[in-house]
Amino acid sequence: MRLATSTAEGAAALRAAGARDRRLRGPDRLAQRFVPGGLRLTALVKVPLLRSLAPRLAESLMPGSYWYELARVRHMDGLLRDEIAAGARQLVILGAGLDSRAHRLAHRLTGVTTFEVDHPAAGAFKRERVQRVFGALPTRVRYVDADLNEGGLGRALIAAGHRQDLRSIVLWSGVSPYLEASGVGAVLDWVGGHTAPGSALVFDYVFREALDGSSWFYGAGELRRRVAATGEPLVFGIPRGSCAALVGAYGLQLVSDHGPEELERRHLLCGERLAGRPYGFVSIAHARVPEVALHPGPP
C-alpha cells in the first residue's frame, strides 16, 4: 500500500483529517472529497472509523507534518481574507494541487477571478477531481497549465485573462522547496514586476540550513528522506533570516515572515497548551508590491 501518489494528495489528506479533529479543528471541510480512494494510506481519511489514525500515522512518518499543514491552511486562509477585504480582485494559486479554496471560500470570492496554476499533469488530475466532486468545472475558476521551472508564467496567465492593472493576491503553498532557484526567481520576478501595486504574495519556504544539513530542525531529516523516496526531493531553501533581502531584490516588501514558533503561538494553541509541534524548518512569508517601485529585478 502506497502512502500517496503525490505531495499534493498527502497534504490534502492531512487537511481532511484536520477538518474532523476535535482538538483543534481545521478549516478545509472539502479536502476529504478531493482525496482519491484506493490502496493508499491517504484514503484512510475517507473512512470514518479510521480517520483518526491519519494524524498519528503522519506524525510517526514525518514529525511535524500534520500540525504544520493545519497551521499553514489557517494562516494562509486568514491572509487571503485580509487581502480580499483590502481590495484584491484576482486570486492566483500557484501549484494549486488539490487546493479547495475556490470552492469552500466561494462566498468570500464573489467578484474575484480565481486562477489555478499547475503543471499540466497535476492540473489535469485536479480538473478530474473537481468534476468528480461537483459534476462540472466552475466557470469562476480559470485553470492554467504552466511548469514553474520552465518559465512562461506571465504569458500563461495573460492568455487566461489575468489583468496587470487589478490588484492580486498570490498564494504559493508547498511549492518553492521543489523548484530550482531559477524557477523561484521567475515567480518572484513576475509578482514584483507584473502585478498591480498593492498586490500580495503569500508563500512558504524551507530554511536552507535544513536542506544542506548544516543545522538540525525538527522533522527535517524525515521529510527529506520521504520526499526523495517519492521522486520529489527538496531542492530550494532560503537562509534563515534572509527572506526580506531575497524578495526585496525583486521589488517586493516583506510584510511578515512567521516561522515555527510564531505559527505555534498563532494557530496551534488549545487554551494555554500546544496542541502539536509543526515542522521546525518552514516559514510563511507575506510580501507586497509597493505603491512606489523599489529596485525590481533579480539580484
Q: State the number of CA atoms in the 13 A half-sphere of 209 facing the CB.
A: 13
C-alpha closest to that of 9 among 53, 47, 58, 48: 58
d(CA 203, CA 130): 24
Q: Can you give the pLDDT at residue 40?
A: 63
Q: pLDDT at position 46, please?
A: 72
Q: What is the CA angle 177-180-185, rounded to 5?
A: 95
* pLDDT beneath 50, residues of the chain: 1-4, 39
User: What's the chain's average pLDDT?
Assistant: 91
pTM, entire model: 0.92
Domain ranges in the chain? Answer: 62-288
For 60-91, how does the pLDDT look when each residue is reduced to its tens digit (9 = 90+)? 989 999 999 999 999 999 999 999 999 999 99
pLDDT tens, residue by residue, 239-289: 999 999 999 999 999 999 999 999 999 999 998 899 999 999 999 999 999
CATH assignment, 62-288: 3.40.50.150
Residues with Cβ within 8 Å of residue 52, at least 6 apart in sequence: 17, 20
State the DSSP H helix or E strand holding residue 246, giving kind and residue range, or none if neither: helix 243-248
